Structure 1
Amino acid sequence: MLGDPRTVRITGDATAAVYRRVDDADAEARPDDYRGRPVPEAYVWCNLTSGNGARALWLLLLPFMVVNLAHWMRPTTRGRRRTVRLYGLLVRLAGLTLTVLLVAAACEVALDLTAWQCAGTPACAQRHSWLGFLSPAGSGNGWWSQPGRRLALACLVPAALTGLLWYLSHRTWSAYESQQPMSRRAEPEEETGRTGLGRPGFWYGRRLVARLRAAHTAAGFLTVAAAVGTSAARYDRRSGGPAVLESLGWLLDATLVVGTVVVVWVVCRRGRTERRMDQELDKTLVRWLPTGSLALLALTLLYAGWSRPRWHSEGRLPGDMTFGGIALVQGLLVVALALAARILYRTHPDTRTALRGQAGPAVATLACALGGVMSGGVAQRVADWLDGTHETVLGPPVLLTWQASVIPPLLLVLAALCTWLAWRTWQRRRADMGTVELDYQGEPKDAARTRRIASTRAMAALTDRAPLLVGITASVTLLFGAGALAGALTTQDAPGEAAQGSYDVVQGGAETAQALGSWLIGFGFILFVTWGRRAYKDPSARRTIGILWDVGTFWPRAAHPFAPPCYAERAVPDLTWRMVTWTRTNGGRLVLSGHSQGSVLAAAAAWQLKPSVRKRVALLTYGSPLERLYGRWFPAHFGPAALSSLHHEVDCWRNLHRLTDPIGGPVRLPGDCGHEVDREPLRDPLAYGRTAEHPLPAPILGHSDYQADPAFAEERERLLARLRPDVPAPRAQGDGQERGVTDNRTQGSSGRSSS
């Protein structure tokens, strides 16, 4: 990026740093050598997203990351503050259900399938010697053979998972998001609501993350306590045992209800604080909530471990009620979220907004579906591993089987949609072939070359159809999920069993869907884990996942504290501090250039500057998703009003894009510094055939290597020339003399570097 393999770090650490060429390392000490030309720097932030193998394990947190995105996808609005708060509240509650779903899935595997069904069945326990000490038919009918004690021992697995999530959330906050932005007051122009990215506390969500972390950790421990304690309490009420145990069971249930109410109250009570840096943490109740729930879990284990010689494990634990309740609550939350988004969108409609404001509810639906697929996948695989073909284990709850059964018809709908998109792409390619020939008039025609360029353009245009794909997928998923829930609740049987007695075609289709869905959901989970394992060892695969994290972890953790950490809470303060210290120390101006996700960081950092500093900055973006992706999917923060305000507050802004780029695009803003913000689309490839400048076939660059196009150097020089006449020279060491240095920051592509 700097055009020289010899670079030196001038500030920063191994995680993120600013680099210069070796020859430019002491530029401030030699101002005469740089009079009239810039000092290029590059900010490298790749280690924040794909630096080491541990990032691959973040794939397991994918549902949390997706639901966190839904929080930031609310439509642009004018007024409606209560509806905005309701929107954020509904997303936070949806995130809470995902935590409960994850822990409930771990309880299903450890408590129901392993400790209750397999260990309680002699035939299954004999095939797994490590379960022998838990089996009633084991050696001497040991102390651990009673169901309550087996459940108490097995609950250590989901409890440990909850503790691990708490630890990772706390550790990643300290490692990535604890950097404080520059302290400043909110400017009056930032109170207009054009975007929240310029508010002083936007990139410092310490209080909310700590609050949600406490609530979600407590919810996890309470879920484990409910899975263990309610089973024992139900037995005590049915068996007519000692009155003291029955009373303890009722007390336990009441305490769980109170704990649940407190957790929900903590999640509902407070959202983000952005107009100032909120460094205060919540008081005793919130801070001690995880400890109190852990203490309740410990008391529950003592209660469940009480001797009950006549208690025997039969059937399944009541998982259908748990998973059915979670699915029902998630569906209601998504519907309420869609209504809130509709109300917000109607106050300020914009046809460029993805799904007419319904992007947030659609993404929240996909997050819930992804959590359900992962839960059902691990439960199905563990059940198959424990039981095989012996049919001694009943398997996971009926609802998970119904959810697996709707996967084949869902895949058929997606296949039909993809077929339609492929047909539309083929039509677009045929139409673009004529356009390509017009763009390269006078060149000898090559049908294969023209077809390749037109195909690249048509494939790049698929990005603009992503809202359609997401909307249809979310709608069908919600519809099929409601059908699965209704089928499980009304029949209480798996689809194949529920269809018995029907027509042969219906019964055969139900059994096929059930078998194929169970296989697909298990295969998908194995593929998911395999991909994560490969990314853990393979840097190239890890960089691919890093592209996913570029978008997914750009936003602060506002809806789920266990989502992967927000790298922008480190990168944006880094860039802001560097720009402010440069302009303050040297009195200079700078060109801030950014490619791909780097252009998003550049815009976010520019919004964090004071207006007086922002006027000393020129923007050069290329391959930028600012309008094409962020403006459409996150309109409240990157919509037309926000981008227009940024354009008028910086000195000048130029944007480069290509028709072959599937990510970058125009920002669609009029210019006020002599030309439009968007330059006309760059030619790609640079040459159609062989020329004196390109004796070998020029490659189709698409999203990469914008610097190879002469237009990049031309626009960069134009911005520098615009700034150069007014650039005050830097102060020499020891005197007040000013010398001329212009700073140009080169910002790299997604997953590599930026500045």
Structure 2
Amino acid sequence: MERVSADRTALELLVHGVGGATPEKMLNDPRTVRITGDETAAVFRRADDVTADTGPGDDRGRDAPVPEAYVWSNLTSGNGTRALWLLLLPFMVVNLVHWMRPAARDRVRTVRLYGLLVRLAALSLTVLLVAAACEVALDLTAWQCAGTPACAERHSWLGFLSPVVSDDGWWSPPGRRLALAALVPTALTGLLWYLSHRTWRAYESQEPLDPTPEPETGPAHTALGRPGFWYGRRLVARLRAAHTAAGLLTVAAAVGTAAVRQDRRPGGSALLDGLGRLLEVSLAAGALATVWVVCRRGRSEHRLDRRLDAHLVHRLPLAALVLLALTLLYAGWNRPGWHSDGRLPGDATFGALALTQGALVIALAIVARALHPRCPQERCALGGLGGPAVALLACALGGVMSGGVSQRVSDWLDGTGTYLDGPPVLLTWQASAIPVLIAVLVVLCGVLGRRTLLLTRVEQEKVVREYGVAPGDPARTRRIARARAMATLTDRAPLLVAVTSTATLVLGAGAIVGAFGTGKTPVRAGEAAQPFVHGAAQTAQALGSWLIGLGFILFVTWGRRAYKDASARRTIGILWDVGTFWPRAAHPFAPPCYAERAVPDLTWRMATWTRATGGRLVISGHSQGSVLAAAAAWQLNPSDRSRVALLTYGSPIERLYGRWFPAHFGPAALAALHEDIACWRNLYRLTDPIGGPVRLAGDGCGPQVDREPLADPLAYGRTGDHPLPAAVLGHSDYQADPAFAQERALLLGRLRPEVPEVPVQRA
């Protein structure tokens, strides 16, 4: 047994940001060793520092801690298959809405109602996606194209489904065609279930450090410090069962509705009519049970819930699958004289989904406004309406993807002919609204560009004054000023979201009114009007159809490119770094939450190291890594937290998370963290488009958490220390600034220097 001076033992735990990093780059040493972890996420040290904090006499001194690097980039951008998660983008966006509510701790029922509305909106997106797959496979392919001789002859692979081409073969009756085509949306639903189950086991199954933490004595904490916040196994399993059942029931309804409609025509079979009515009642009961599960089951955070509702998780999807199988048998029964003509009743389905989503978004906005008066955050995005606005965009994104697939498949099957009736009218009206929305966004971008240009001129005067270089180099001054002005565009994100969501709401409402008010496509609705109106409608419909299809094709091609291109894969990984920080609390088919692995990793490492050595620890987080560092600090016990200091740089913790997620990163939550953590300092630059101040005054490390904005570039012109022109670093290379080492030394100096020596077991 040897004794190591706790005063002299210090550790700096580095956490990288978005885009990933290598341990060699983080530690500035080509020789690194993995201390703990696996291929997905691990802690590394320099080869020379493996035993630095357990040796007999670490000679680094107080201001030179042992550096460790926590590398978590493989959680989001490790291999090419994860690039296909782009197709789950609407699910990811609606899952974010759950965490975007205003802070109102004394209105529990209203908060629960907010979460309920988000879960219902998420459920509608699952139904929309499966309904779009049914539209493509059942309506356009099996019903319209296979039932039209000219289309079936043009696509020989559909010949066995055509009554004419196959000479009334076994698969040619409409019911059997629909039953066979139903395998496509059924397989899609099964794939979503499998991916959700597999990714949870791979990324989110790590348990927090201690399910029974020590009692807190400080002020009220954010929910991120609760024992069960980063362990949502029970909730994800329940929602996965409900959404899987909803997908299967949607397929059953799409197949069964056509058969029921045929059986209710004059001359239909009374037996089949009775079976159809029984089937409708069963489908309605299954839908009610699914909605009840989504409404009844919320998220538990106050305890580490290891239980699993096995009966619900297994039986609900199984019951839906059995009901689907019975529906396929019912639809496949031979009905003489049944021919496929027109469309399947998809207009009513997509119209009902659009109206339901609109009503849910409006209700969500009302609830958010009710919560906002209790929200003290002045910088709360859109006055508390950030969640509803993003929910509307998620629904619109789901509609664009669904409509894009339907439009492109319809055009591909139909070619240059007019064999098919095409997709539902509502999807055509939605496509016609896309060019108008793009025009609005172009105007908005022009306004923002002009404001940025004006701000650049103002910043030029500030740059000359701050560096004292009048008149200076005009090109150099303009470059620095432009970087500062461009960085402020991040603060304009609420305006962009507000304009986009408002335009989407107005255009979406217009599409619904146009589709159900006229019952015609925009082109046919404008035929009786003036030629200019008809021409504009025709242009909008054609352009919108191509744009909506092009958008979906770009999603697919981007994912395909990222599968082969490492640089593109890292770019897409950045999207997931930002979008999948939050647990899957609303949509179980969203991409997995990497923080449910990363936060327990960091918490375990900090707690075990401080307990084993009694030393001082600085957790140093850059960009998104600072958010992970703060979340891990919230999970520590008070006794462990007293030995830990927090150093953040380029941090979006207030600039982005505080504005868009005020209930969890608002001023009250950050103030509580500042009170609990031993010491906290934050570094930022005016040229950084992501990082910013945390805007907290305090007594932990000087007058406030934030240091004055770092100079960027470090020198305006050539100097003895900078013989070559210094680069404008923006969001990168904070450690290159001398202020970084100064602040780290300040933190270590304030971390309980009176801690006595503690025994350390030596092998």
TM-score, normalised with respect to structure 1? 0.96
Q: Which residue number corresponds to residue 743 of structure 2? A: 715
Q: Distance in 2 between matches of 1:600 and 1:486?
A: 44
CA spacing shift, 1:34–1:571, aligned 2, 3 Å: farther
Q: Does 1:611 align with 2:624?
A: no
Superposed, which structure 2 residues align to 1:731-750 within 5 Å?
731-733=759-761
Letter in 1 for 2:230: W
Aligned 8 A contact 2:128 2:353 in 1: yes
Q: Does 1:162 align with 2:185?
A: no
Q: Structure 1 stretch 690-699 or stretch 189-198: which is displaced more?
A: 189-198
Q: Which residue number corresponds to residue 124 of structure 2? A: 97
Q: Distance in 1 between matches of 2:753 and 2:563?
A: 51
Q: Structure 1 stretch 28-37 or stretch 193-202: which is displaced more?
A: 28-37
Aligned 8 A contact 1:201 1:273 in 2: yes
Q: Distance in 1 between matches of 2:95 and 2:427?
A: 24
Superposed, which structure 2 residues align to 1:658-677 within 5 Å?
658-672=685-699, 673-677=701-705
Q: Which residue number corresponds to residue 682 of structure 2? A: 655
Match of 1:26 among 32, 37, 51: 51
Q: Does 1:116 align with 2:126?
A: no
Q: Distance in 2 between matches of 1:182 and 1:594?
A: 20
CA spacing shift, 1:543–1:332, aligned 2, 3 Å: same
Q: Does 1:361 align with 2:384?
A: no
Letter in 1 for 2:446: T
Letter in 2 for 1:557: R
CA spacing shift, 1:266–1:34, aligned 2, 3 Å: farther
Q: Which residue number corresponds to residue 300 of structure 1? A: 327
Q: Distance in 2 between matches of 1:283 and 1:3?
A: 49
Q: Structure 1 stretch 18-27 or stretch 598-607: which is displaced more?
A: 18-27
Superposed, which structure 2 residues align to 1:628-707 within 5 Å?
628-672=655-699, 673-707=701-735
Q: Which residue number corresponds to residue 213 of structure 1? A: 240
Q: 2:628 is paired with a residue of what secondary structure?
A: helix
The alpha carbon displacement at 1:729 in A equals: 4.1
The alpha carbon displacement at 1:687 in A equals: 1.2
The alpha carbon displacement at 1:34 in A equals: 4.3
Letter in 1 for 2:359: L
The alpha carbon displacement at 1:283 in A equals: 4.8
Q: Distance in 1 between matches of 2:213 and 2:334?
A: 63
The alpha carbon displacement at 1:482 in A equals: 0.9
The alpha carbon displacement at 1:35 in A equals: 5.9
Q: 1:75 is paired with a residue of what secondary structure?
A: coil
Aligned 8 A contact 1:443 1:688 in 2: no
Aligned 8 A contact 1:266 1:286 in 2: no
Letter in 2 for 1:495: P
Q: Which residue number corresponds to residue 7 of structure 2? A: none
Aligned 8 A contact 1:178 1:569 in 2: yes
The alpha carbon displacement at 1:348 in A equals: 2.6
Q: Which residue number corresponds to residue 613 of structure 2? A: 586
Q: Does 1:468 align with 2:468?
A: no
Describe the superposition over 1:319-363 as per-residue Cα deviations: whole angstroms up to 9, x where unpaired.
110000000000000000000000000123422100010000001
The alpha carbon displacement at 1:732 in A equals: 3.6
Letter in 2 for 1:697: P
Aligned 8 A contact 1:350 1:356 in 2: no
The alpha carbon displacement at 1:139 in A equals: 2.9
Letter in 1 for 2:467: Y
Match of 1:277 among 279, 288, 304: 304
The alpha carbon displacement at 1:610 in A equals: 0.8
Q: 2:528 is paired with a residue of what secondary structure?
A: coil
Q: Which residue number corresponds to residue 367 of structure 2? A: 340
Letter in 2 for 1:315: G
Describe the superposition over 1:399-437 as per-residue Cα deviations: whole angstroms up to 9, x where unpaired.
000000001111111111111100110111011000010
Describe the superposition over 1:681-717 as per-residue Cα deviations: whole angstroms up to 9, x where unpaired.
0111111111221121111100000011111111111
Q: Distance in 2 between matches of 1:669 and 1:612?
A: 24
Q: Which residue number corresponds to residue 230 of structure 1? A: 257
Aligned 8 A contact 2:91 2:589 in 1: yes
Describe the superposition over 1:1-41 as per-residue Cα deviations: whole angstroms up to 9, x where unpaired.
11211100010000000000000112244231346342110
Q: Which residue number corresponds to residue 741 of structure 1? A: none
Aligned 8 A contact 1:628 1:667 in 2: yes
Letter in 2 for 1:718: L
CA spacing shift, 1:100–1:162, aligned 2, 3 Å: same
Q: Which residue number corresponds to residue 432 of structure 2? A: 405
Q: Does 1:327 align with 2:354?
A: yes
CA spacing shift, 1:78–1:697, aligned 2, 3 Å: same
Letter in 2 for 1:710: P
Q: Which residue number corresponds to residue 228 of structure 2? A: 201
The alpha carbon displacement at 1:730 in A equals: 4.9
Q: Which residue number corresponds to residue 153 of structure 1? A: 180
CA spacing shift, 1:6–1:366, aligned 2, 3 Å: same
Q: Distance in 1 between matches of 2:426 and 2:205?
A: 41
CA spacing shift, 1:728–1:383, aligned 2, 3 Å: farther
Q: 2:680 is paired with a residue of what secondary structure?
A: strand
Aligned 8 A contact 1:599 1:621 in 2: yes
Letter in 2 for 1:719: L
Aligned 8 A contact 2:684 2:710 in 1: yes
Q: Which residue number corresponds to residue 441 of structure 2? A: 414
Q: Distance in 2 between matches of 1:191 and 1:653?
A: 16
Q: Which residue number corresponds to residue 83 of structure 1? A: 110
Letter in 2 for 1:11: T
Q: Which residue number corresponds to residue 749 of structure 1? A: none
Letter in 2 for 1:259: G
Match of 1:2 among 27, 45, 69: 27
The alpha carbon displacement at 1:194 in A equals: 3.6
Q: Does 1:488 align with 2:527?
A: no
Q: Which residue number corresponds to residue 516 of structure 1? A: 543
Q: Distance in 1 between matches of 2:220 and 2:147?
A: 60
Superposed, which structure 2 residues align to 1:411-450 within 5 Å?
411-442=438-469, 445-450=472-477
Q: Does 1:451 align with 2:484?
A: no
Q: Distance in 2 between matches of 1:176 and 1:444?
A: 55
**Equivalent pairs: percent with the same residue?**
73
Q: Which residue number corresponds to residue 408 of structure 2? A: 381
Q: Distance in 2 between matches of 1:348 and 1:724?
A: 36
Q: Which residue number corresponds to residue 255 of structure 1? A: 282
Letter in 1 for 2:51: D
Describe the superposition over 1:710-741 as per-residue Cα deviations: whole angstroms up to 9, x where unpaired.
11111111212222723444524359xxxxxx
Q: Does 1:136 align with 2:163?
A: yes
Superposed, which structure 2 residues align to 1:592-607 within 5 Å?
592-607=619-634
In the alignment, structure 1 segments of 5+ residues that lack a partner are 736-755
Aligned 8 A contact 2:616 2:748 in 1: no
The alpha carbon displacement at 1:278 in A equals: 0.8
Q: Which residue number corresponds to residue 127 of structure 1? A: 154
Aligned 8 A contact 1:63 1:371 in 2: yes
Q: Distance in 2 between matches of 1:100 and 1:200?
A: 33
Describe the superposition over 1:540-584 as per-residue Cα deviations: whole angstroms up to 9, x where unpaired.
111111111111110000000000000000000000000110011
The alpha carbon displacement at 1:524 in A equals: 1.1
Q: 1:261 is paired with a residue of what secondary structure?
A: helix
Q: Which residue number corresponds to residue 20 of structure 2? A: none
The alpha carbon displacement at 1:187 in A equals: 5.3
Q: Distance in 2 between matches of 1:538 and 1:38?
A: 38
In the alignment, structure 2 segments of 5+ residues that lack a partner are 1-25
Q: Distance in 1 between matches of 2:747 and 2:581?
A: 28
